[in-house]
Structure 1
């Protein structure tokens, strides 16, 4: 077996085997087994970058670092075609890291049926990683769907009082998007005779112009639901509010990225002419998401719901970058994805820690965190400042590059969108500073009286996210450098009119 096969197949097989093992064991032993499997997945994902020059795919001009292409179901044009490049690799590492931190968190937290929850997290990881690694459209769709039921089960099984309604809403919205995605995939395969994403990206002429228009429309709506893009976002606040802490971290950290990644890899890659035609509409909707998401956050009274709505605004910046269809914009989307995963994942960890101590998430019932739990308040301040786009932290680059890309696109519409997006950035700072004022600097609340300081297991779970947010803020080329060639190849085929 080649190095590529070991790495690409291994990152899917190991967590799947870990999920089975966790189910066979009970309680904490199952959670520990899941954590070991998640750690091995990280160890398999990390060398993909280091060994990218060791094995070069033969006859593939897509710039893939590693690839396997095995026949599976030829009659359905289904091949086990897995690959990784500079666009997908950062998301693969982010997924593996967050899953490891969440499984380790369960070992310490010991929720009811911890082994089952850990097993579901590993199954979700398999689906997300499969989505990022799939280079066959049918395989991409199947991996995209693997996530649906396990995430709904996490919300329904371990969530808050309204968990069943939130899980049902999540499932129905996602299922609606899946139907549209399936129709688009079938249309592409039927009209071109291939499901090979590499070939479809390299030869966009395989799809006629008119077909690209309506197929991209299907893809855009399907991926917008998952991202989520306003006004298809209404499942997100309920799901986040009711989900357990680890569910919210995975949901915000990487599951939302499946939508924006699909829009780049499949939407822009396979139907570039459709992407160019719909770009202005996507830009308008993205800026609407930024502004509306920020304004809604200013009116929120519950901490998890506020952070959930913040994702609508942050993903709006990602979608604005994609809509520009230039290199700076796509780079903004990619680093914005990673920054959002790190910082919003950290914010949900912190929201869960505060809610566990205070037994409430209402902002009016929280306050005085700085005096009583200074370490917890300090990490919360770091995460909030990073999320509002403070220069020197990871959140800055995605927002700044999206605005610059919009200006660079030129024309009255894109200039106006850039200005409005910048205003949205200011509103982002407003609601996050309001959060800090209420929770950290407000009057000391009785709900936090006697609550413990941040514990060592919590700090261990948060530290990698803090370190990476700081590292990418100082050295954004760690992400931008590895994706530059793949992004350049995409933008040459999706030149906007």
Structure 2
């Protein structure tokens, strides 16, 4: 008896929701919003069912579906989840309904043009579907196709939706940011395409797909682990770098990060959350799954260099965040720093580092969503992103200010909030492998406290600045968005076990597959006491 195709249903539902939203008459914007929200909630329900059916102690990849796609190329429609993919699927499915509610009355999606609201909702759902396929794909070509295609709807979300009455210059800046996002990521994808083709050629030479090559991820991983890809280190290193470059652009890893701050500002808070908390996770997920498992030897070779770049990104993002005058741009730079921590944990090649990195992907998504959305609500009230224009907000909007503080403290990894656990695991795992890198990365904790608390002080405390006295506190709709995020930060801060129970077996399996073991702890031994030249 065939099992129900839960993973196919997972991405088909948002695609169907996007089509249904576009079918709603143009004048019925509220109906379009409800159709999109119902589709997003249905996707979440399917994700929860998949999580319930997933057994942490079972097979590495579960809920697997496999069908022929392009037989002559050895490409198939093969999907399945391990623990890491599962938690990222749940993160994606949980955040999208909140983003649709957050944008319910946003000027960017309530403009007077025909079907603007409909198109925005449909694009958001399409991005969700493509991200979900990327997380569950067990075919390398299938993954690549949607890794690239998701850029198109995201490009329109960044460049196509501006506030009402926007001047020509801001509109041009928004379009430039969208083009920059697209070009950077398309170039990274082009390099990856060359690597994908090269990998297929290797599988064809070894007849891994029978008479030809194959894109089946599990087959290629098995061959890579046993050394049966039939290529030398130079070729494998080149293919590794092709995959890694594309993932490093999307993640983003310093110095390939420069598209992110402009895109975050241009996109608006809900779409910026979609980009940074969801879409960019495909990059770090790709590093953990594809780079490590397909190229174990190259991973060992380049892990020290990538760790250095990750530490540079951690410190660079934190230092630049301190100097920002734009609240949204500041939050974007904090994400560059956080992605550095995730990548550092991945390439520490330890169980603590890998588990911390996977957990960090989830926790960063939640904390960044909370901080960006509450900042977006504040910016929409005041009409400016300039930090200096705020001041005294906690006196006129105490609930908004309190939520902003909790989200900010989570961003700086305060103990008791979710990011602390993941950051601690990353640092512990890194210290056992690269102690110097861990020491430098720890310095970012001080910088994070500086940029978050200074931002809060300037925006929320002190006397009420002119223009801020009419700022409203959070509305019920906004509380519906923020309360679940705050609760998730609190719960995962004190009880991350349910997530780690699903992540840990996948991380351990990955490290075992590439022949990596945690470094043995070294404890200095005291010199033996001597008496009269005789050891006691």
TM-score relative to the length of structure 2: 0.88
1:63 aligns with 2:60: yes
* Displacement after TM superposition at 1:55 (Å): 13
1:75 aligns with 2:77: no
- Corresponding residue for residue 167 of structure 2: none
Within 5 A, what are the aligned runs for 1:349-388?
A: 349-388=373-412
Equivalent residues of 1:209, 1:273 under 8 A apart: no
* Displacement after TM superposition at 1:108 (Å): 4.5
Equivalent residues of 1:325, 1:495 under 8 A apart: no
C-alpha distance after superposition, 1:227-268 (max 9, x if no partner): 000000000000001112210110111111010000011101
- Corresponding residue for residue 50 of structure 2: 48
Larger CA Rg, structure 1 vs 2: 2
Instruction: Give unpaired runs (5+ residues) of structure 2.
Output: 164-169, 204-212, 518-536
> Which of 180, 196, 200 is matched with 2:220 structurally?
200
Instruction: Give unpaired runs (5+ residues) of structure 1.
Output: 57-61
Q: Which moved more, 1:430-439 or 1:440-449?
A: 440-449
1:244, 1:114 → 2: CA distance? 14
- Corresponding residue for residue 7 of structure 2: 8
Q: Which moved more, 1:159-168 or 1:126-135?
A: 159-168
1:472, 1:212 → 2: CA distance? 39
1:353, 1:477 → 2: CA distance? 32
> Which of 151, 162, 176 is matched with 1:148 structurally?
151
* Displacement after TM superposition at 1:202 (Å): 3.0
Q: Which moved more, 1:86-95 or 1:436-445?
A: 436-445
- Corresponding residue for residue 181 of structure 1: 192
CA 314–55 in structure 1, closer or farther in 2 if over 3 Å, else same: closer
- Corresponding residue for residue 423 of structure 1: 443
CA 55–29 in structure 1, closer or farther in 2 if over 3 Å, else same: farther
Three-state SS of the structure 2 residue aligned to 1:46 is helix
- Corresponding residue for residue 520 of structure 2: none
Equivalent residues of 1:48, 1:65 under 8 A apart: no
- Corresponding residue for residue 59 of structure 1: none
Higher helix share: 1
Within 5 A, what are the aligned runs for 1:66-465?
A: 66-109=63-106, 111-112=110-111, 113-159=116-162, 161=170, 162-192=173-203, 193-204=213-224, 205-207=227-229, 208-210=231-233, 211-409=235-433, 414-465=434-485
Equivalent residues of 2:73, 2:214 under 8 A apart: no
Equivalent residues of 1:343, 1:386 under 8 A apart: yes
Residues paired across the two proteins, number: 487
1:54, 1:396 → 2: CA distance? 24
2:133, 2:175 → 1: CA distance? 27
C-alpha distance after superposition, 1:322-372 (max 9, x if no partner): 111111111011011001000001111011101101100101101111111
- Corresponding residue for residue 507 of structure 2: 487
1:297, 1:488 → 2: CA distance? 35
Q: Which moved more, 1:463-472 or 1:198-207?
A: 198-207
* Displacement after TM superposition at 1:146 (Å): 2.2
1:230, 1:53 → 2: CA distance? 37
2:246, 2:155 → 1: CA distance? 18
* Displacement after TM superposition at 1:151 (Å): 0.6
1:398, 1:4 → 2: CA distance? 34
2:3, 2:496 → 1: CA distance? 28
* Displacement after TM superposition at 1:209 (Å): 4.4
The structure 1 segments of at least 4 consecutive aligned residues displaced by more than 6 Å after TM superposition are none
2:237, 2:334 → 1: CA distance? 31
TM-score relative to the length of structure 1: 0.95
2:228, 2:16 → 1: CA distance? 39
**RMSD in angstroms over aligned alpha carbons?**
1.7
* Displacement after TM superposition at 1:213 (Å): 1.3
1:170, 1:442 → 2: CA distance? 38
2:497, 2:232 → 1: CA distance? 36
2:87, 2:261 → 1: CA distance? 26
* Displacement after TM superposition at 1:3 (Å): 3.7
CA 4–330 in structure 1, closer or farther in 2 if over 3 Å, else same: farther
CA 282–442 in structure 1, closer or farther in 2 if over 3 Å, else same: farther
- Corresponding residue for residue 20 of structure 1: 19
C-alpha distance after superposition, 1:9-47 (max 9, x if no partner): 111111001101111213222121111100100000001
2:241, 2:473 → 1: CA distance? 50
Q: Which moved more, 1:390-399 or 1:283-292?
A: 390-399
